[in-house]
Amino acid sequence: MRYLVGIDGGGTSCRARLCDTQGKVLAEAKTGSANILLGADVAMKSILDAIATAASLAGLSERNYGEMSVGLALAGAEQRTAWYDFMAQPHPFARLTLNTDGYGACLGAWKGRDGAIFIAGTGSVGLLRQGKQISVVGGREFPISDQGSGAVMGLRLIQQVLLSVDGIMPQTELARLVLAHFDHDVDAIVEWSKTALPCDYGQFSPEIFRLAEANDSLAVALLQQTAADIEMWLNALIARGADQICLMGGIAERIAPWLTPAIQRRLAPPQGDAMDGAILIAQGDHNLYPR
């Protein structure tokens, strides 16, 4: 093998990093969703597209795929059936290794050493790595889990907006912004909700953070609830033996000021990201389940 490829795939995007065997980055690319619970074939297409783009940027082609070890850190990989369905697909690479996005993020955050992370992005999951022992909290997918994520925060936002339409909750600037997004058509919101994906709910999180700074009461309440959810998961990791925890993901990067001082003292800056972890997966024996 002459090349290492790391893939970080979630409900929103699929990122690929192509390196040589010494870890020098040759190219990076980004495509659509690679959450394997949304379909093994859908995820594989995003992965192949991302690798093809990165390979092209590095002056390589499909002829080089047989020289590549690919490490996959994918959302949904914790589901055993989904893992096996994905790995049963044909592929052109020298080696394909699959673990979860949380595992990849933990490897990257602690540079392959033991440690704990909590990801709060479109979805959420916490992970503590102690040697070969892996403890996971949450991460059972939207809408039944993923508290502290952009998706759950967006779902709560839609619920509150509909209550404001009924005159039960006050209609703040944030609620009016969401209503304008749907052309003030409640039926359009209902129809949208029937097919909306986690990333569709998560799209509202930047506006929630923005308007919370302007003291919009709905935005503030949503962030307070999200912070409480994240603290719940962090305390669960601490109870399992975590000392310091890295917060990762788009929500996590901005939520720290909303956490209590005691929890803030437990936070550590990540030393790398899920892409770094995916490269480590490509280098070693990190399959979640046996082949």
pLDDT of residue 252: 93
Query: How confident is the model over 62-86, as a mean pLDDT?
Result: 95
Fold of 3-111+271-283: Nucleotidyltransferase; domain 5 (3.30.420)
Residue 95 has pLDDT above 90, yes or no: yes
Distance CA 251, CA 255 (A): 6
Span 59-67, mean pLDDT? 97
Average pLDDT over residues 205-223: 98
Sign of the four-CA dihedral 271, 273, 275, 281:
positive
More confident residue, 10 or 42: 42
Distance of CA 141 to the CA centre of its chain: 11
Percent of the chain exceeding pLDDT 90 equals: 88
Structure confidence at residue 139 (pLDDT): 87
For residue 80, give the H/E element and its range. Answer: helix 80-87
Reply yes or no on whether the pLDDT at 11 is more than 80.
no
pLDDT value at 12 more than 80 = no
**pTM for the structure as a whole:** 0.84
Q: Are 128 and 116 in contact (CB under 8 A)?
A: yes
At residue 94, the pLDDT reads 97
Band (pLDDT 50/70/90 cuts) for residue 282 is very high
Fold equal for 3-111+271-283 and 150-264: yes
Cβ atoms 12, 287 nearer than 8 A = no
pLDDT digits (tens, 9 = 90+) for 102-131: 999 999 999 999 999 999 998 899 999 998
User: At residue 77, does pLDDT exceed 90?
Assistant: yes
Report the pLDDT value the prediction gives residue 75, as an integer from 0 to 100. Answer: 87
- The domain made up of 150-264 has a fold known as Nucleotidyltransferase; domain 5 (3.30.420)
What 3-state DSSP class applies to 26?
Answer: strand
Domain ranges of the chain: 3-111+271-283, 150-264
More confident residue, 38 or 150: 150
Average of per-residue pLDDT values in the chain? 95
